[in-house]
Chain A
Amino acid sequence: MARLDIANVSKLFGSTKAVDDFSITVEDGELVCLLGPSGSGKSTLLRMIGGFEKPTYGSMTIDGEEVIHLPPEKRPTGMVFQSHALWSHMNVFKNIAFGLKLRRLPKAEIERRVEAVLELVGLSGYGQRLTHQLSGGQQQRVALARSLVLEPKILLLDEPFASLDQHLRERLREEVRDIQQRLKITTLFVTHAQDEALSVADRIVVLRDGRTEQIARPAEVYREPATPFVAGFIGQMNLVSGVVADGRFGHSAFNVPAAVADGPATLAVRPEALAIAPASGAGMAHVHRVTDYGTHAMIDVELPDGERLKSMMPTADQWTPMQKVDLVPGAFALYRDNGVIYRADAALALAKPARKTRSTVHA
């Protein structure tokens, strides 16, 4: 159990800023996901916490103690790497016991702790196996056990499931979350998979080009993204550029009420908040593609200007390609200058036929 404070940390590689003025406080037992695309600085940030990179500016404290000048071997952190990084010349037991041996613990104590952690990760009886005799999922559990056995104050997970198949990833992330909650260990988890972040995190930090876009709870990040980038990065989002005039957001296909100052804006509406209905007249758009996922259907609709939006509907039954439809946006948000300027819930949003405006659409 520990508290991590990161204040105004930046990291420069030459003239490139990998991390730019990052600050966060991670509370005792909290699991924070660092989420972002490749090159967003999330792994660099984790490596700085682990001591493998030195920040150019800023400070990092663990339980109030400055750790920025400590090498990795002296930090109270434990890291699980993407590639497992198991030592293939050692068996499972020796991999896990290595850190304990370096601390010169008695042999009996080492055996007790290794057996306990093997049981914790569900690998009892695997101690004498060589690492290449394990599956990818088992190897990742050994890597986790190797970190956990040292009882680190902060657990760092650097895309630990990236090399595993989807089914195994889902299972392992639930197991990791269970273990983390059982041990109440403060954890930072780097991932570029939004579903992973949404399913395990207490809070999510969305990073872009080394800068923080949003720090919030998963539901908030999903439902109330702070920037157009977060809106587009988390889940599926239709982003429609248009203009606000006279209290309405206008676009070539439809417009909605928006009580904000006039000017350009980007409307963000999730597929599940964008309903479609059979056209009563000429229709705002036509169905381009219907994809039936079993649990729901994803309808790609094409606007008159050729841009496409996605609409999630309960079934695919009543939709066919080229069918004329009207758009019925529910909850949506408007963004301007990289910030949110307006949010509307389903009740407020009423689509009306569009007035002519210059616009672009990104689905």
Chain B
Amino acid sequence: MTAVSQASARPLDQGENRRRPYGLLLVAAPVLLVAWLVIWPIVSAVGRTLFQRSDEGAIEFTLDTYLFFFSDRYSLDNLTVTLWTTGMCALLLFVICLPIALYLRFSAGRLPAYVQSLAIFPMFVPSIILSYAFIRVLGPNGMVDILLNAVGLPKIRTPYLTPWGPVIGLVWDNIPLTVLILLSGLGNVSNQAIEAARDVGARWGQVLWHIILPRIGNSILVALSFSVLGIFSSFTLPYVLGPAAPEMMGPFMQRTFRDVNDPQMAITQAVITFGFCIVFGLFYVRSVARNQGK
């Protein structure tokens, strides 16, 4: 039998353990930056809304601003319209982007390449330009009205300055990201998996329902989480295209802070908005964790 000395019997992964701090150092800078620019403002905002200075000068715990928000009809209407806009956008994005992604995934040739370019195009258009383009096309006396008038048809009721204005703009703005994420998910569904389903008797609808959608469930969740996070806290499109009242949380916060000059209430609105966003964010984190677990 060969005698093994203590030194030579050392675990092989000891060197790896020694290297670990270097890896942590590499991520230290972005982690610290996130802590400084994201985590700390959140903690600070929550603290400033929950702990306020009383008239006597003492700092005390209070829920006054939250109680006001959730008892104020105007604030609740704004929250409702934000949730409605977000939900409607998510639904429309799914309904519009899934067929586009399916077409791009299962088609070949030049036409799908052009369709993909068109689907990605909104990504390169700044929101403010999109907003004014929308007004020029669908707004009062816009291009659609002019064309309808030219052929003797009555004006359409413009979605501009109605809750549908931000919905149309936000959906258009979020199509590229949603299509790309869904397309990436569909890339994991092999042609043979689909052919195998057809081989055992599944029609196209059954293939979509039983094979494709379950396989891209994570991608749908990620795409909708990303879109919802962006839409819920969006500012430019709702500000330019949306109605004055009720308004989405982004413009509402800005108006409370600047026009009403009530920073404490604006911070409360921001914390409440963050609270809703974190729920969608947790969906995303759960999806990623589940995926990595597999």
Chief secondary structure at chain B's binding surface? helix
Interface size on B, residues (CB 8 A): 19
Whether A89 pairs with B215 at a CB distance below 8 angstroms is yes
A236 to B280, CA, bound (A): 64
- Binding-face segment, B26-34, B50-58, B154-162, B188-196: B188-196
* Chain B contacts with A in 186-211, Cβ cutoff 8 A: 190, 192-193, 195-203, 206, 210-211
* A88-B215, A98-B210, A132-B294 given; A146·B198 CB < 8 A: no
Whether A85 pairs with B200 at a CB distance below 8 angstroms is no
Q: Which among B190, B193, B206 has the greatest number of chain A C-beta atoms within 10 A?
A: B193
At the interface, yes or no: B214 with Cβ under 8 Å from chain A? yes
With beta carbons under 8 angstroms apart, the residue of A52, A73, A79, A132 that contacts B201 is: A73
CB distance from B216 to the nearest CB of A (A): 10
Whether A50 pairs with B206 at a CB distance below 8 angstroms is no
* A79-B195, A81-B192 given; A102·B200 CB < 8 A: yes
CB distance from B257 to the nearest CB of A (A): 47
* Chain A contacts with B in 54-80, Cβ cutoff 8 A: 71-73, 77-79
With beta carbons under 8 angstroms apart, the residue of A81, A82, A89, A102 that contacts B202 is: A102
Whether A89 pairs with B196 at a CB distance below 8 angstroms is no
Q: Which among A83, A87, A103, A132 has the greatest number of chain B C-beta atoms within 10 A?
A: A87
With beta carbons under 8 angstroms apart, the residue of A79, A85, A103 that contacts B190 is: A85
A150 to B211, CA, bound (A): 18
CB distance from A105 to the nearest CB of B (A): 11
**Residue interface mask B145-166, A partner, CB < 8 A = 1:** 0000000000000000000000
When distances are taken between beta carbons in the complex, the residues of chain A under 8 Å from B193 are 85-87
When distances are taken between beta carbons in the complex, the residues of chain A under 8 Å from B199 are 50, 72-73, 77-79, 147
Interface footprint category on A? 20 to 34
When distances are taken between beta carbons in the complex, the residues of chain B under 8 Å from A132 are 294
A296 to B62, CA, bound (A): 92
* A89-B214, A150-B200 given; A102·B206 CB < 8 A: yes
When distances are taken between beta carbons in the complex, the residues of chain A under 8 Å from B217 are 89
When distances are taken between beta carbons in the complex, the residues of chain B under 8 Å from A50 are 195, 199
A309 to B197, CA, bound (A): 49
When distances are taken between beta carbons in the complex, the residues of chain A under 8 Å from B215 are 87-89
Whether A72 pairs with B211 at a CB distance below 8 angstroms is no
A residues at B contact (CB < 8 Å): 50-52, 71-73, 77-79, 81-83, 85-89, 98-99, 102-103, 132, 143, 146-147, 150
B residues at A contact (CB < 8 Å): 190, 192-193, 195-203, 206, 210-211, 214-215, 217, 294
